[in-house]
Chain A
Amino acid sequence: MSLWLWVLAACAAVYATKLLGYLVPEGWLRHPAVGRVSAMLTIGLLAALVAMNTFSADQTVVIDARLGALAAAAVALLLRAPFIVVVLVGAATAAGIRALG
């Protein structure tokens, strides 16, 4: 039951973060540091998510099939593959490496 409370609290908190942006006075947005920091924050957060999802396992760092998926996805992106193809390449590579290993 307490898991439900965390789920609903997270739903409310995330909705609040979205709504907050629509309530900010426009004058605040003119400050150049705001745009710069938000762009950097997005890159930092997404890169952190890539790293976490590639290497994490029970609070240790492991190298496994997910690193192969990352490399294959990067190649697909370099070849300008659409998003759905990149995701499929990542899944197929991880599954393929596991099937072989």
Chain B
Amino acid sequence: MGLSIAAAISLYGVSFGALSTAAGMSLWQTVALSALLFSGASQFAFIGILASGGTGAAALGASTLLSGRNTIYAVQMKALLNPQGFKRLAAAQITIDESAAVAMSAEDPVEQRRGFWGAGIACYLFWNLATVLGALLGDVIADPEALGLDGAVVAAFLGLLWPRLKSLDSWALAVLAALVTTLTMPLLAPGLPVLAAAVVAVIWGLTSKGRRT
């Protein structure tokens, strides 16, 4: 399962490499983002904000805020696996949507451990390989949009969101967040609309809990 997920995100990694170089990042800056930052949504946000004329500070802020998700995964992985010492440092680096999702979908502790490390390491290797490939291809291909790479990114984010849309409540929030993002896009600096949606989501989480108790 870890391997198939890693293979699945590879195309996404190729798109990242291609779009990153198209956004004006060098090959090595692109590689650094995949090897050191290693969190797809944050990487896309970083280059997306720079590409649309945003500042480095806005790119840093949005990519860090988007990684708030990973903090929550890390908390959950601590509860499941509780890695210590060097293993904890390594686990932190590969704590992403995919590795956390595979670990959380397993029932017994052995499968959880195997799922987390298997998916995490496979994703790390495939993602970085794909990034280099995309960055090199991106240099050759003048127009990644002709290949539909931007369409691939839209589809990938929807694919990540989809399994979480299990209730009317979650659908309503997703639509509201998308609406807030779209409506504030012409008004706010690049990257900030996503943060506006995040604020709406936090308020939603706090108030809907209140409604239920």
Contacts and interface: CB of A to CB of B under 8 A. Distances in A.
A14 B63 contact: yes
Most B CB contacts (10 A, CB to CB) among A24, A52, A98 go to A52
Contacts of B161: 43, 46-47, 49-50
A99 B25 CA distance: 27
A2 to B, nearest CB: 7
Interface stretch (B111-119, B132-140, B177-185): B177-185
Interface string B35-47: 0111101101110
Interface residues of B, number: 97
Given A50-B158, A66-B154, A43 B208 contact: no
Contacts of A33: 205-206, 209
Q: Which of A4, A39, A51, A72 has the most CB of B within 10 A?
A: A51
Contacts of A18: 39, 67, 70-71, 73-74, 92-93, 95
Contact of A11 (B36, B44, B181): B36
Nearest to B60: A10
B53 interface: yes
Interface of A: 2-11, 13-15, 17-22, 24, 26, 29, 32-33, 36-61, 65-66, 68-70, 72-74, 76-77, 82-84, 86-96, 98-99
Interchain residue pairs A-B with the least CB separation, the first 3: A21-B74, A90-B155, A94-B151
30 contacts: A6-B60, A11-B32, A14-B39, A17-B64, A18-B73, A21-B71, A21-B74, A21-B92, A29-B79, A33-B205, A38-B205, A41-B198, A45-B69, A45-B194, A45-B201, A49-B44, A50-B158, A50-B161, A51-B181, A52-B185, A59-B53, A66-B150, A69-B155, A70-B158, A77-B158, A86-B159, A87-B152, A90-B155, A98-B148, A99-B146
